[in-house]
Amino acid sequence: MTLQPAVIRQLAEHLESAERNARAVTKITDAHPGLDWDDAYAIQDMIRRIKLERGHKVAGYKAGLTSRAKMKQMGVETPVFGLLFDYMSVGDGGEIKAAGLIHPKVEAEIAFVLKRPLRGPGCHVGSVLAATDFVVSAVEIIDSRYENFRFDLPSVVADNTSASRFVAGGVAREVMGLDLRTLGIVMEKNGEIVALAAGAAVLGHPAAAVAMLANALAARGEELPAGAFVMSGGATEAVAVAAGDSIHVRFQDLGSVSMRFV
Ligand code: 0L1
Ligand code: MG
């Protein structure tokens, strides 16, 4: 930890205001080159506090940068974790106002809903599957607050991992009897296929991303509570969208998810 509490608060307000005003800013490590992972998660925690003070609720958790496709796209090697808030949730088939976002991108993800709390350390694919009530298809809309999506990992963690909106599908399936590794995903933008993946693109098994998140939270004295909605990270690379675009993602065994940008 390198930053004083007042600087953590100031950077959290800066990034949260950039999100609310859909205004791109330069990455915060330009002004604070020594900012480390602890500083970054402390800024993210402060953003959570600011949003709770404003009356919002935590609606879920997210793992990001969990697939090779995404890591390669962003030139990084380490997954990151963030929070989803109530106002980010958009109904399946819904409209998303592009003017309220900076430069949105969409990624197809498998989401887990827990029936029991998950507390690390030591969580693994088996413990996640045992604690899962059901899985659903989902699409995350990421919108980095940094100009041109140009950032380093501490900057993106501080920016709540670019969390912006999410859409969950309506087909809930128990994990028993489903092989999430071979589950196929096809993303269409305006009727054209733009990305393909299988569940195993996410760390070999999407539940591995949830285990990693539970273990990372444990290092900060937190757990994933019963009932938590957890997005396991984009199986495909992220696809840029703008007003006028329609996205439709088919998930084998899990139905489809769609949205329109207006
Ligand atoms: O959810 C994600 O994989 C995104 C993590 C942050 C990096 C980005 O904005 O692409
Ligand atoms: Mg994501």
Question: For 121-138, what is each residue's pLDDT tens digit?
Answer: 999 999 999 999 999 999
% of the chain residues with pLDDT over 90:
91
What tens digit of pLDDT does each residue of 143-160 get?
Answer: 999 998 888 999 999 999
Nearest protein CA to atom 8 of ligand 1, as residue: 162
pTM for this entry? 0.96
Nearest protein CA to atom 6 of ligand 1, as residue: 161
Judged against a pLDDT cut of 90, whether residue 184 lies above it is answered with: yes
CA of 64 to the centre of ligand 1 (A): 5
SS3 for 254? coil
What tens digit of pLDDT does each residue of 197-232 get?
Answer: 999 999 999 999 999 999 999 999 999 999 999 999
Smallest CA-to-CA distance from 201 within 223, 178, 181 is with: 181
Q: Which ligand is nearest to the CA of 152?
A: 1
Ligand 1 pocket residues where CB is under 6 Å: 62, 64-65, 70, 74, 80, 140, 142, 144, 149, 156, 161-162, 233-234, 238
Domains of the chain: 57-261 (3.90.850.10)
Inter-CA distances, 97 with 230, 242, 249, Å: 24, 9, 19
CA of 164 to the centre of ligand 2 (A): 10
Structure tokens at 130: 């045992």
Judged against a pLDDT cut of 90, whether residue 161 lies above it is answered with: yes
Number of other residues whose CB lies within 10 A of the CB of residue 199: 27
Judged against a pLDDT cut of 90, whether residue 70 lies above it is answered with: no
Judged against a pLDDT cut of 80, whether residue 74 lies above it is answered with: no
Euclidean distance between CA atoms 29 and 146, whole angstroms = 11
CA of 177 to the centre of ligand 1 (A): 30
- Residue 229's pLDDT is 98
Ligand 1 closest atom vs CA 74: 10
CA of 234 to the centre of ligand 2 (A): 5
What tens digit of pLDDT does each residue of 85-113 get?
Answer: 999 999 999 999 999 999 999 999 999 99
CA of 26 to the centre of ligand 2 (A): 21
The DSSP letter of residue 26 is -
Average pLDDT over residues 28-49: 96
